[in-house]
Amino acid sequence: MGRLIGRKLFQALVVMLLVTTSTFFLIHIAPGDPFMPDLSVSGVSAERTDQIRRNFGLDRPIYVQYGAYLKNVASGNLGLSFRSYRPVSEIIIERLPNTIVLTSLALIMDFAIGILIGTWQAWKRGSAGDRFLTVATLTLHSTPVFWFGFMLILAFSVSLRILPGSGVVTIGIYDSLTPLGQLWDRIKHLILPVSTLALIGAGSTARFQRAAMLDTLSQDFIKSARARGLSECTVIFRHALRNSLLPTITLLGLSLPVLLSGSVLVETVFSWPGIGALTVDSVQSRDYMVVTAIGLVSAVMVLAGNLVADILYSVADPRARRKP
Amino acid sequence: MRSFRWVPVTLFVLFVVVRAGRIGDLLSTGTFVEQTLVALTFTLLAAIIWLTITPWPEVLSKFFKPFDVRIASLVLGAIMILAVFAPIASGHHPNTQLDLVNGQLLPPSLAHPFGTDFVSRDLWSRVLFGARVSLMIGVLAVTMAITIGTMVGMAAGYFGGWVELVLMRLVDAGLSIPRVFWLLVIVSLWGTTDIYVLILIIGLTGWFSTSRLVRAEVLRIREEDFVVAARGLGISEAGIVIRQILPNVVPPIIVNATLGIGQVILVEAGLSFLGFGVQPPWPSWGTIIQDGSARIIAAPWIVTVPGVAIALTVVSLAILGDRLQTTLNPRDSAQF
Amino acid sequence: MGDLSFEVNEGETVGIVGESGSGKSVTALALLNLISPPGEIRAESQIVFFGEDILRADTKTLRKIRGGQIGIIFQNPAASFNPVLTIGSQIDETLRAHRPVSRNEARKTSIDTLSKVGLPHPETVYSSFPHSLSGGMQQRAAIAMAIVANPQLLIADEPTTALDVTVQAQIIQLLRDLTDASETALIIISHDLGVINQIADRTIVLHRGQLVEDAPTRQLIEQPHHPQSALLVQAAPTTAPKFGETS
């Protein structure tokens, strides 16, 4: 187990280095830099622009910049934002909790719903309910996540007026609420964005889980369990469900990048001040330092998720424990 | 269900009859391209009728047997035909602002089946021309991604060693960053407005999972008895790759491509929605949703219609992809 | 598969033999009403076990018979066990599905049974996962799981085919010891008349889903009536495994 984690950590380090390097070079070989369009238009003199470039080290050769950047990142310094002159780490830390709350709640709901539906479908294979859910999950799987967000806003915020469709809290009245009221206000704002991400994801998860469960149910040890006179309940939940969850655990690691991609769109739709919305903002304003840092942070989140999935897998499957 | 074959032809004849007036207009006053398109309509009509009355090969009629496959093909076929014949199917240019005084944000009606947007453009025309853009991006970008992914996957699976190690760590890195992030960075930094650059970029960021799939297939097939036997018979390595391994990785690649087109359509829509994809005034399904999102309360249909179009297209592609998987996979042919 | 009719008495050991595809394994599964669709047992068929018709029994009775009164051993020992659960917990659950025993009693009985089937260190086996045992040990554990609830009938479907020749002999010996020591009847299914000969009192020959001969084993070997039986007798290795077969 220790060796497994060690190996995975080393692999993660390599991947993170690759990610940092590729985003860094992608950004730096791109034509133009952040001070080209904005400052010349706003009437700042060429000398002043050059001065700023020098301050940020942008006049140095690219490999020197790269070396300096890696050294800074290794010591936890992500640099300064070109736009707000604030430390990038400060900006990220300000936004990160919003995204983590959004995506982790969505992930839990995604897998809870997906596994439940998929298992039920495989158990009742061929029934009317199974066929209906097959169409429903396929449709969710094929729906643009941001469009689905708009549809939920239309239904619940515009027509029914029961849930807020944007922001984290109700601006203006939040400060005057009791602590319990504040919590309820936050929950209300979470429901639509979390549901958007989770339901779209649950479509894929349910399809996956159904296939995994059907595969497990066709295996010999299930026949053996039935031949031993175990109850249907024991066969399904103790024997089949447990084994069918193994591939789904792998899916958990794979679905994190998809979820983060979705959160970029969903945060924009719901004006959710998280990393996703920050990505769009800083890409628009060419805030290199923030963009590179977001790439790194996303990779860390994804790799951490993969590591958790690997550990879960080796806990659930005794056969995986022996192999490195 | 032989009678089902008559559904497409009936729909197509209906299309030609209903749009007969427009066809006449285009023939007499249209540009050369539009006249060619009209000619193409009749060629296609003839082809569809011919396909309907001649018997189909066993493989085809088996492929189209399940009900959902028929519906999916019908929907996808209709969307593709409407996209190709968009100038015939719609009476307006997608960017024409018809009536800025009285024609803004009109709800769906007979004159404007999907209503109009905030600068009085006809939404039906925009969705049809948007289909052209979205489908073209989907097909071209996937072709590119599949080509790169197959080559990388074959190289990694076949050569092994450090080639495999380097390529697969690269794929790991590519897959561990959300795709939307890559796309945003590249598109915004290059400040592109050109649709072909967009296709290039979507293609370049879409091959990671294909190469994983191809590598796994190659690794599996490389150890199969018939490959070992071929090697034992002294067939060259190049011969083995081309004659033994390549044909076996083609079926999963075709399935992967079919599903991939749907995914690219979703990605393009997302990117355009964020303002980094297809640039206005040209419509793609994503840009239409973005246009409409600012007026979502006053004119909810602008956002709704292109989303439904996307979902229908992607669902149909997924159903056909699943069907191809069961049909093309010789290991599953027992259930076929 | 065609029509088939035979009976097994208490304490008797019956062999079913036939070439591959002759319907031996289907028979074994049919005895427990475990045929999965699209296969089905014709409606007028009957499988009577101590006066109870298995094909018409309700779910509860069927569950009581499966594992409780009829135990089954499969060809592939790995197929008997769920790979993610320990051997012990699976034997325990079989016992507890049929006998009202506490967790501790179940554990004790399971370990006893594991040692009865000749497994060294039964406690270790009890808490290990299937993949950590060799094929022969897995098959012994599978036998333990099949007999833990003291069934009146044991069905062994090609119990030795997937094993090494030396292990095969041990497993056959074990099955013999177990059935001799109790009143348990045994149906042993094999394509190898040599295996059947070592253990079965009576042998049924199947050919293309039809029963072609039903005779005491000794008589069958000495004077096969049906040409198919004669073929099988010729094909069987006479006494010991042939030279070069041990791997």
pLDDT at B93 over 90: no
What are the residues of chain C with a beta carbon less than 8 Å away from any beta carbon of chain A? Answer: 29, 32, 34, 36, 59, 62-68, 71-72, 74, 76, 78-85, 93-94, 97-98, 129, 131, 145
Which pLDDT value is given to residue C177? Answer: 84
Residue A226 confidence class, pLDDT cut points 50, 70, 90: confident
In a shared domain, residues B160 and B74 = no
**What's the CATH code of the domain at B181?**
1.10.3720.10
**Residue with structure tokens 């304490």?**
C11
The answer to whether residue B95 is domain-embedded is no
In a shared domain, residues B47 and B141 = no
Q: Is C34 in Cβ contact with A229 (below 8 Å)? A: no
Across the strands, what pairs with C207? C210
pLDDT at B54 over 90: no
Mean pLDDT of chain A: 85
What six digits make up the tokens of A273?
A: 């001040």
Q: Pick from B227, B225, B223, B232: which is nearest to B247 by CA?
A: B227
Which pLDDT value is given to residue C241? Answer: 43
Residue A1 confidence class, pLDDT cut points 50, 70, 90: low
Rounded Cα gap, residues A281 and A298, in angstroms: 16
pLDDT, average across residues A20-49: 66
In a shared domain, residues B211 and B282 = yes
More confident residue, C3 or B123: B123
Which residues in chain B touch residue A260, judged by CB atoms under 8 angstroms apart?
178, 180-181
Percent of chain A whose predicted confidence (pLDDT) is above 70 = 91
Which of the given ranges, A130-144, A277-291, B282-296, C97-111, has the highest pLDDT on average? A130-144
In a shared domain, residues B217 and B294 = yes
How do residues A231-279 score in pLDDT, each as one tens digit? 888 888 888 998 899 888 888 888 888 898 899 999 999 999 999 999 9
The residue type of B18 is V
Written in H, E and C, the secondary structure of B41-54 is HHHHHHHHHHHHHC
Which pLDDT value is given to residue A39? Answer: 47
More confident residue, B138 or C213: B138
For the ranges A121-125, A222-226, B195-199, C75-79, which has the lowest average pLDDT? Answer: C75-79
Q: Is A27 in Cβ contact with B175 (below 8 Å)? A: no
The domain containing residue B30 runs over which residues? 1-78
pLDDT at A106 over 70: yes
What is the DSSP code string of chain C?
A: ---------TT-EEEEE--TTSSHHHHHHHHTT-PPTT----TT---EETTEEGGG--HHHHHHHBTTTEEEE-SSHHHHS-TTS-HHHHHHHHHHHHS---HHHHHHHHHHHHHHTT-SSHHHHHTS-GGGS-HHHHHHHHHHHHHTT--SEEEEESTTTTS-HHHHHHHHHHHHHHHHHSS-EEEEEES-HHHHHHH-SEEEEEETTEEEEEEEHHHHHHS--SHHHHHHHHHS--SSPPTT---
The answer to whether residue B100 is domain-embedded is no
Which pLDDT value is given to residue B333? Answer: 41
pLDDT at B15 over 70: yes
pLDDT at A31 over 70: no
Rounded Cα gap, residues B8 and C74, in angstroms: 53
The distance of C159 to chain A (nearest Cα, Å) reads 14
Count up the domains in chain B and report the number: 2
In a shared domain, residues B64 and B146 = no
In a shared domain, residues B144 and B71 = no
What six digits make up the tokens of A187?
A: 């929950």
* pLDDT < 50 positions in chain C: 239-247
pLDDT, average across residues B290-296: 87
Which pLDDT value is given to residue A11? Answer: 79
What are the residues of chain B with a beta carbon less than 8 Å away from any beta carbon of chain A? Answer: 68, 169-170, 172-173, 175-181, 184-186, 188-191, 262, 266, 269-270, 273-276, 286, 289, 293, 296-297, 300, 303-304, 306-307, 310-311, 314-315, 317-319
More confident residue, C2 or B222: B222
In a shared domain, residues B231 and B155 = yes
In a shared domain, residues B263 and B184 = yes
Which pLDDT value is given to residue B80? Answer: 92
The answer to whether residue B149 is domain-embedded is yes
Count of Cβ atoms closer than 10 Å to residue C162 Cβ = 18
In a shared domain, residues B143 and B267 = yes
**B17-28: b or e for each residue (b if 16 or more CB lie within 10 Å)?**
eebeebbeebee
Could you say which of C36, C68, C82 has the minimum Cβ distance to residue A229?
Answer: C68
Q: Tell me the helix, strand and coil percentages in chain A, rounded to 5.
A: 80, 0, 20
* DSSP three-state, residue B62: helix
Q: Is A319 in Cβ contact with C67 (below 8 Å)? A: no
Which pLDDT value is given to residue B309? Answer: 95
Residue B308 confidence class, pLDDT cut points 50, 70, 90: very high
pLDDT at B34 over 90: no
Return the half-sphere exposure (C-beta side, CA atoms, 13 A cut-off) of residue A21.
11
Q: Pick from B8, B75, B73: which is nearest to B44 by CA?
A: B8
pLDDT, average across residues A38-47: 58
In a shared domain, residues B58 and B164 = no
Q: Is B173 in Cβ contact with A22 (below 8 Å)? A: yes
Could you say which of B172, B297, B311 has the minimum Cβ distance to residue A142?
Answer: B311
pLDDT, average across residues B145-154: 93
Chain B touching partners, 3 or more CB pairs below 8 A: A
For the ranges A43-57, B16-30, B93-107, C175-189, which has the lowest average pLDDT? Answer: A43-57
The answer to whether residue B151 is domain-embedded is yes
What number of C-beta contacts closer than 8 Å exist between A and C? 78
The answer to whether residue B314 is domain-embedded is no
Could you say which of A220, A229, A243 has the minimum Cβ distance to residue C64?
Answer: A229
For the ranges B8-17, B123-132, C20-29, which has the lowest average pLDDT? Answer: C20-29
Q: Which of B38, B53, B78 finishes a domain?
A: B78
φ, ψ for residue C37, nearest 5 deg: -60, 150
The answer to whether residue B250 is domain-embedded is yes
In a shared domain, residues B142 and B268 = yes
pLDDT, average across residues A24-48: 64
Distances, alpha carbon C57 to alpha carbons A104, A190, C47, C152, in Å: 49, 53, 10, 18
What number of C-beta contacts closer than 8 Å exist between A and B? 144
Where are the alpha helices (H) located in A56-178, listed in sequence order?
Answer: 62-74, 88-123, 128-141, 145-152
pLDDT, average across residues B132-148: 94
Q: Please provide the size of chain B in residues.
A: 336
In a shared domain, residues B210 and B326 = yes
> Which positions 287-316 of A are in contact with C (Cβ < 8 Å)?
316
A160 DSSP assignment: S
Could you say which of A220, A226, A319 has the minimum Cβ distance to residue C79?
Answer: A220
Q: Is C66 in Cβ contact with A226 (below 8 Å)? A: yes
Which pLDDT value is given to residue C136? Answer: 85
The answer to whether residue B111 is domain-embedded is no
Which residues in chain A touch residue B216, judged by CB atoms under 8 angstroms apart?
none
Could you say which of B170, B181, B318 has the minimum Cβ distance to residue A298?
Answer: B181
pLDDT at A48 over 60: yes
The answer to whether residue B129 is domain-embedded is no
Which pLDDT value is given to residue B112? Answer: 79
pLDDT, average across residues B202-215: 90
Domains and CATH numbers, chain A: 88-322 (1.10.3720.10)
